[in-house]
Amino acid sequence: MSAQNEIAIQMKEVSKIFYGKTIANDKISLDIRRGEILALLGENGSGKTTLVNMLSGIYFPDHGEIFVNGKKASIRSPRDAFALGIGMVHQHFKLIDVLTAAENIILGLPGGVTIDRKTLYGQIRDIAAKYGFDLSPEKKIYNMSVSEKQTVEIVKVLYRGADILILDEPTAVLTPQETTKLFAVLRRMKEDNKTVVIITHKLNEVMEVSDRVHILRKGRYVGTVDTKQTSVQELTEKMVGRAISLSIDRPEVADKKLKIDAHGLTCVNEEGVTTLEGVDVQLYGGEILGVAGIAGSGQKELCEAIAGLQPLTAGSIVFHGQDAQGNPKAEDIAGRPPMDRIKRGIAMSFVPEDRLGMGLVAAMDMTDNVMLRSYYRNKGPFVDRQAPRKLAQDLVERLEIVTPGVNVPVRLLSGGNVQKVLLGREIASRPQVLIVAYPVRGLDINSSYTVYSLLNEEKKKGVAVLFVGEDLDVLLQISDRIMVLCGGKLSGVVDAKTASKEQIGLMMTHVGGENAAKEDNGND
């Protein structure tokens, strides 16, 4: 066990300041031991990524010293980091799409003028076999799933002989099964006396895989705990700085009215690939319908199809609303663009995944962004800025949006505040149907819980909510029902009160879930 206590990396009073004012890391001192799995825990914006970027040579510290294996190190580029045996798997993969796995792995390495592919493939297969990966060296990156890409990143780091591996939010894009597999690999690396640092804000994963936890809050180091001697509650308190309740409400709404009844939704993309195939959805007012699935299983297409942004190849979307006299009225809105729907009095809101690209205009201020939703109701050639400004100021107060003012471009706001602006604006338009895609991605715990309670409020008002999420724990807690997508097909709909994570995980990888998975294995 002596190797366990050897210190691999020591950071002394390391600081990083951006543009002379944003303090991302403030005098952080910590150590990383050889042969341990260390979790770096902190909310978004707490400086975890900045800190490890200084170890991997992306950023250079403004103050402080870093010691690697007892020697003072100056890591000025990723190349320097490799030389010290430090390898990093970034949250956004640093892979070249048009190259193969093997080409990505040897990128930038010294060696002969030409590439000996045969030997290279052999070496890659050896590493894969040693740690239990599944990887084909000749496959192009653009043909790979997210989990395969991550495997390439990890093999790339190992191939370079790294004995300190840093993984930035490695599980954010994986299914539960893939996560389990990844953790098994990490444990095998630990047995091999490699040091693994994993950055995360998912507490259950910290508990499951790590030996020790370093906690950061607002750019500062707050402490270290042994995983064995801590609890989720304690970690949360340290991370957020105060006690907060971790359970998500699921209010019951008695009167559920069918709002949208869609059948056989089918989309084909520009390359002729069917991205959504014969999916049926029923959205009820006063209900949150969760959507689960591996990234890229048709979630985007489903949302956009219902919102009227994606042309349908086949299928119908029937909206159950009221006519001017208040009598029930049903009409097929498939293929009708959003503006046409607004004219027909169909109030529908869509909070897209890409908040600053599709949701808001990044360079415009809050008032203008709010105005985008209402300007067309103005009469005459001039727009009314008074009402939107008032609404914007209202949102700032009610949702506790941190901004220097409503006249500041929204791109300068942090992720959580951007989401609050977008969600607040959409809710202010009083929708009957609210579609939200990955609403808490990149948000800290506080902002996430604000979003959950906003969604629950809408649900209580009788709004039908479609919630596309990636964290199954959250989906299981907040949704009433969960529909699972797999490769663009509907894998099934489950009751969120009774379903288990494993069951949904299987449905995400096999249409039909458990039974289909068994059949698949039988056929192998």
Partner 1 sequence: MDNLVNLLYAAVLAGTPLLFGTLGEILTEKSGNLNLGVEGMMFMGAISGLAGVYFAEMWFGEMTGIICMLIAILASFLCGAFGALIYGFLTITLRANQNVTGLTLTIFGIGFANFFGEIIASASPSKFMTISTGAKAAFANSPLIPGLAALAGEHRWIYWINKLLFSYNLLVYLGIAVALVMAWFLNKTRAGLNLRAVGEDPAAADAAGIPVNRYKYLATVIGGGICGVGGMYISMVTAYGVWVHGCVGGRGWIAVALVIFATWSPSRAIFGALVFGGLSILRMYVPLGIPIEIYDLLPYLATILVLIVTSVRQSKDHNIPKHCGFNYFREER
By C-beta, is 255 or 270 nearer to partner 1? 270
By C-beta, is 156 or 217 nearer to partner 1? 156
- Distance in angstroms (rounded) separating the CA atoms of residues 335 and 395: 33
- Distance in angstroms (rounded) separating the CA atoms of residues 38 and 214: 7
State the pairing for strand pair 464-468/287-292. parallel
Shortest Cβ distance from residue 93 to partner 1 (Å)?
A: 8
By C-beta, is 46 or 349 nearer to partner 1? 46
Beta bridge partners of 442: none
363 sits near partner 1 (criterion: CB under 8 A): no
Closest CA to 175 of 296, 286, 270: 296
Shortest Cβ distance from residue 161 to partner 1 (Å)?
A: 12
Q: What are the residues whose beta carbons fall under 8 Å from the beta carbon of 443, sequence distance 6 or more?
A: 44, 415, 416, 419, 451
For tokens 């300190």, name the residue. Answer: 164
Q: Which of 108, 251, 337, 338 binds partner 1 (CB under 8 A)?
A: 108
103 sits near partner 1 (criterion: CB under 8 A): yes
By C-beta, is 108 or 223 nearer to partner 1? 108
Helix 445-460 / helix 415-428 crossing angle, nearest 10 deg: 10
DSSP 356: I
State the sign of the Cα–Cα–Cα–Cα dihedral 188, 194, 199, 203. positive
Q: Which of 1, 2, 71, 113 binds partner 1 (CB under 8 A)?
A: 113
Stretch that binds partner 1, among 40-48, 107-115, 447-455, 494-502 (CB under 8 A): 107-115
Residues 51-90 that bind partner 1 (CB under 8 A): 56, 58-59, 77-79, 82, 88, 90
Residues 244-283 that bind partner 1 (CB under 8 A): 270-271
95 sits near partner 1 (criterion: CB under 8 A): yes
- The two three-digit tokens of residue 63, written as one number: 């103050």
114 sits near partner 1 (criterion: CB under 8 A): yes
Q: Which of 7, 17, 23, 99 binds partner 1 (CB under 8 A)?
A: 99
Shortest Cβ distance from residue 94 to partner 1 (Å)?
A: 4
Q: Which of 70, 74, 115, 246 binds partner 1 (CB under 8 A)?
A: 115
119 sits near partner 1 (criterion: CB under 8 A): no
Helix 232-240 / helix 445-460 crossing angle, nearest 10 deg: 100
Alpha-carbon separation of residue 294 from 174, 433, 519 (angstroms)? 7, 24, 21
Residue-wise burial string across 68-85, b where 16 or more C-beta atoms lie within 10 A, e elsewhere? beeeebebeebeebbebb
Residue numbers of the site for partner 1 (CB under 8 A)? 18, 56, 58-59, 77-79, 82, 88, 90, 93-99, 103-104, 106-109, 111-115, 140, 142, 156, 270-271
